[in-house]
A and B are shown apart, each in its own frame.
Chain A
Amino acid sequence: MPAGRPPFLSVALVSTAALAYEILLMRLFSISQWHHFAWMIISLALLGYGASGTFISLARRGLLPRFNTVYPLNLGLFGIAAIGCYSLAQQIPFNAEEILWDWHQSLYLLAVYLLHALPFFFAANAIALTLTRFPHAVSLTYAADLTGAGLGSAMIIALLFLLLPQTALKAIALAGLLAMLIAAAELRLARRRAWQVTALSGIALLMVLPTQWLEPQISPYKGLSQALRVTGTEIIDTRSSPLGLVSVIASPVIPLRHAPGLSLMSRTPIPEQIGIFTDGDALTTIDRNPGQARLDYLDMQTSALPYYLSTIDQVLVLGAGGGHAVQQAHNHAAPHIDAVELNAQLVELVATDYAAYAGHLYERQGIHIHTGEARGFLTRSTRQYDLIQLGQLDAWSASGAGLYASNESYIYTVEALQTYLQHLTADGYLVLSRWIRLPPRDNLKLLATAIQALRASGIAEPGRHLVLVRGWQTATLLVKRSPLTAVEITRLKSFSQSRSFDLAWFPGMQPDEANRFNILAQPYYFQAAQALLGDDSDRFINDYKFNISPATDNRPYYFNFFRWGVLAEILSLRGQGGMPLLDAGYLVLVATLLQAVVISLLLIVLPLLGLGRDTSTSRPAVSHSRTVLYFFTIGIAFLFIEIAFIQRFILFLHHPLYAVSVVLTAFLLFAGLGSAWTSRQPAGNRRIVLAVSGIALLGTLYLVVLGPLFDLLMPLHISLRIPVSILLIAPLAFCMGMPFPLGLMRLADAGPQLTPWAWGINGCASVLSAVLAALLAIQFGFMTVIVVALLLYIFAAVVFP
């Protein structure tokens, strides 16, 4: 290999490992902590990329002459840090819930950030050093980086199906050490043998390292940890996939007795159960029922309502979980039950591993279980149902704290509810059950969504089609395609009365019928239902202290209830236990943004001090401000488009995992090709104009045609929808791969000392971009995110250095 050629293979390998590590950390943190904190910690740890730019800018003169040592060293350090820093961070007793009053927690959090930033810092150093050391091969180096990252995203998702996350972590560390080994060969290092021995010793150590040392330590406040405190409770089975770590527990001494929302009047026993926790939380259970008995306790929950209103033959359960909604339907002898569950491992547990325990629930006559996503299933189904039941409740702890605020959900949008309604028979019911939280928000948002969906389906008086019942813990919203009849209303009253459930809305309800058994300070639900069904509903939604405006496919944030307007009021109530009123998820996004802005500013400004003092090189012929603006803007814009497209494709590919892996891999691989292509192009500003024109044209085109195109192609099998998606992404990604190397090529000619700085700026912008995209999408929707990204690309072309 010629001495002047960059070590492409090791660059690609470390990029593969770094991107895989990012996704894997998300998985590991979601198990040990909660998803949104995982997201914050990893977002900030990714500033390790920005820090590497700053570090190399400042230490460039010392590092570049020693490239042959520091490059492989950073690769090896990435491998070691990937495992070492993770293990150290596991020892830090960080508890997110205490951060408000225990200042130690902030220090712990800082330590967690710093530890997790280190592996990214080393990986980024290796790439940035290569870009700086080989200024005239930046296109190909960046192409190797992107291609590697693309492979990383696909590989880690595949790996997570095969391995436990902690084993996958070893594989990533191994990749770091392998990259070091390969680098020694690629660079034809003089002391190659020493590097080889070091790398191989590291690999050998990794092989013997007990994997259980790396097992994620689940927060003692998560459901699984709490359950395991009970004498005799043990984990009897563990499954892992990119969708989550499934832990099956048995509690033979003290039964689980999981029956959320059970009526106060219930005296029926709860059968023996095994518990299933996903990522250490979100408990669902499988009931022991070898005799295939009728499980009466399921009739004492609000979700049993539809079976007491009418005869139901065709049932669709969306989110089958441990099979309760299926059993509930079976209790009432529904002849045809379709049940859909996204997580194949949950299906497997009920259908295969614990089939005998569950009384072969899924093998009983008329019951059909489907693994897949709810809306995807309905898109391909032509069947009409008497009842569509959204079965599974998410974990109360996370839901209760509003932690899902930044999670997109396409299950509870106006469009989703319209789809469900379309699949109902003329007198069919759609039934959605949610936890109750005070002050009311979830159920009211769902009610507002249902009203909008009914109106959009051409129903003039939605109030005649709706019923809302509540216990003290859960509420069930029933939406009927045709108006409710007097007979149904009589049955509804009898159902609620016998179970001490409160009526919150039914057609013709009188105020004195509300708030009888589970008494609130005021009949909030009935008042809200009246307001939402009245002429002034918009004003009610606008004036309400939580965000209860319906979620849409463009703004799929059902779980976000936060409103800035009440922040001051809630904070003033902090001492009186007012903090649970805050929906923390949104604030975590804001907190991430603020921290990232401060750190990014520091990281971007610091190198300027070094660059100002640098007298060894000639003054760059490009301005610092243009450099900052250009690399910052394209960093923001690239991720905006990538994130928004992942969301757009979730509805087309129907499965968040397919969408993430296909879109991310396609984007990175084709952007890599775009980057490589720029190496063959003649110099000149014309190329950036061409690249940005391509992005703007394709982006605008997709804004207009993607929706109708998806509608047209939706019936295709997934094996065809994936290549179609890749084909759609390819040209746009190809163009998006060009601006960064074009900028670096310009710097290579006019100010090579700015290369690591540009790399750092781009790294910081990427972190900010992910947070900003979420905030922007919550406020204005994903279409806006794409429009802003396109405008940013145009701005970038204007400020091209």
Chain B
Amino acid sequence: MKFRSVLNTILVCMACLAVAVPALAADTYRAARMAMVKEIEDDVRRTSLALDKESLDPAVMAAMASVPRHRLVPAKMRDDAYENRPLPIGHGQTISQPYVVAVMTDLMKITPDSTVLEIGTGSGYQAAILGKLAAQVYTIEIIEPLATLARENLQALGYENIEVRIGDGYYGWEEHAPFDAIVVTAAASHIPPPLIEQLRPGGYMIIPVGSRFMVQQLVLVEKDNNSTVTTRQILPVRFVPLTGSH
């Protein structure tokens, strides 16, 4: 009798834990995500001179606040998922710093009607953010295991407007072109001409430049309505080199 009551108590406790732990974890992640969003907002304010704005598009920030980044990083990295820094995701790749993801997304001026192309899916996090903002996202990843994992994770998270393809991003995704925005996170020695062609006039292409762990500048390619292409080089930090003495 005594044994049964102990056993019952243990079973009840286990059942409570089974319900409480994920709920607690979800709460913890939500709190961490909100803290991350707050940190991004602060960073944006601090870098307002470089970004030419005090705050990012509220829709972008809402996407940052809703995408569960911890579900798109390797399991061992989950606790670090909402730190405002890049994380290694295996295969020599990284998931970008959330602040950089937010700024890049903002620069692309995505609307709910946009069709977006991403070259370099990586973990799928950038695609997930884009998926919250755009009508359709097409993303290409050259490293097969990464593409497969990102596709699975994005499906598990219920994104139906993101299509992941394994392959070479150099030629873009012609059957879905033109794109309103293109993001190129894969390293390239130059901007692939086919991507410039697949950018809709009035569209934006964004390319982070730097090492896997440190973005040095953002290159925003703009194609105006006359199809004239220019780039804008943005240093996403508050640092003015030519003025001010030390």
Contact = CB atoms under 8 A, between A and B. Distances in A.
Interface in A172-228: 220-221, 225-226
Interface residues of A, number: 60
B246 A221 contact: no
B99 A577 contact: yes
A578 B97 contact: no
A527 to B, nearest CB: 6
B193 to A, nearest CB: 5
B36 to A, nearest CB: 12
A517 interface: yes
A230 B46 CA distance: 39
Contacts of B91: 220, 229
B83 interface: yes
Contact of B190 (A260, A500, A579): A260
Contacts of A522: 242
A527 B242 contact: yes
B103 to A, nearest CB: 9
A543 interface: yes
A470 to B, nearest CB: 10
Interface stretch (B18-26, B59-67, B209-217): B209-217
A544 B92 contact: no
B203 interface: no
B241 interface: yes
Contacts of B229: 264-265, 500
Nearest to A540: B242
Interface string B222-246: 0000000111111111110110111
Interface in A255-281: 255, 257-262, 264-267
Given A231-B144, A264-B221, A566 B233 contact: no
B231 A524 contact: no
A715 interface: no
A546 interface: yes
Contact of B237 (A95, A97, A472, A577): A577
B143 interface: yes
A518 B213 contact: no
A566 B190 contact: no
A522 B212 CA distance: 27
A95 B87 CA distance: 12
A524 B242 CA distance: 7
Interface in B149-208: 168, 170, 187-193, 196
Contacts of B148: none
B190 A580 contact: no
A519 B231 contact: yes
Nearest to A222: B92
Contacts of A260: 189-190
A98 B88 contact: yes
B210 A400 contact: yes
Q: Which of A397, A472, A543 has the most CB of B within 10 A?
A: A472
A576 B187 contact: no
Contacts of B221: 264
B43 interface: yes
B145 to A, nearest CB: 9
Contacts of A98: 88, 213
Interface in A124-181: none
Interface stretch (A81-89, A435-443, A767-775): A435-443
Nearest to B167: A254
Interface in B15-61: 39, 43, 46-47, 50
Interface string A534-570: 0000000001111000000000000000010110011
Given A98-B213, A229-B91, A577-B215, A518 B246 contact: no
A401 B216 CA distance: 9
Given A229-B92, A267-B193, A518-B230, A579 B214 contact: yes
Contact of B231 (A220, A231, A517, A528): A517
Q: Which of A257, A438, A440, A519 has the most CB of B within 10 A?
A: A438
A257 to B, nearest CB: 6
B107 interface: no
B84 interface: yes
B142 A264 contact: no
A439 B191 contact: no
A575 interface: yes
Q: Which of B217, B241, B245 has the most CB of A within 10 A?
A: B241
B190 A97 contact: no
A185 to B, nearest CB: 50
A520 interface: yes
Given A543-B245, A578-B239, A229 B142 contact: yes
B219 interface: yes
Contacts of B216: 400, 437-438, 580
Contact of A473 (B47, B88, B190, B213): B190
B93 to A, nearest CB: 8
A460 interface: no
A226 B187 contact: yes
B230 A519 contact: yes
B128 interface: no
Contacts of A581: 237, 239
A439 B235 contact: yes
Contact of B214 (A97, A439, A473, A528): A97
Given A220-B92, A438-B217, A543-B245, A500 B43 contact: no
Nearest to B213: A97
B231 A97 contact: no
A261 B213 CA distance: 22
Contacts of A528: 242
B241 A546 contact: yes
A655 B48 CA distance: 49
A566 B246 contact: yes
Interface string B89-104: 0011000010110000
B85 interface: yes
Nearest to B166: A231
Contact of B230 (A225, A261, A500): A500
A221 B212 contact: yes
Nearest to B144: A231
A575 B43 contact: yes
B239 A221 contact: no
B231 A518 contact: yes
A545 B190 contact: no
A516 B244 CA distance: 25
Interface in B80-138: 83-85, 88, 91-92, 97, 99-100
A265 B231 CA distance: 12
A264 B232 CA distance: 13
B198 to A, nearest CB: 13
A712 interface: no
A95 B92 CA distance: 11
A521 interface: yes
B196 A264 contact: yes
B79 to A, nearest CB: 12
B169 to A, nearest CB: 9
B189 A257 contact: yes
A441 B187 CA distance: 23
B144 A576 contact: no
B39 A575 contact: yes
A265 B230 CA distance: 10
Interface of A: 95, 97-98, 101, 220-221, 225-226, 229-231, 254-255, 257-262, 264-267, 397, 400-401, 437-440, 472-473, 500, 516-522, 524, 527-528, 543-546, 563, 565-566, 569-570, 573, 575-581
7 A-B pairs with least C-beta separation:
A220-B92, A439-B241, A565-B246, A262-B190, A97-B213, A580-B216, A580-B214
19 contacts: A95-B213, A97-B212, A101-B83, A230-B142, A231-B142, A257-B190, A266-B190, A439-B241, A472-B219, A517-B230, A522-B242, A545-B239, A545-B241, A566-B246, A573-B237, A576-B47, A576-B238, A577-B99, A580-B210
Given A97-B214, A580-B216, 14 more contacts: A226-B92, A230-B142, A255-B170, A257-B192, A259-B189, A259-B190, A261-B190, A264-B196, A518-B231, A520-B233, A543-B245, A576-B46, A580-B214, A581-B239
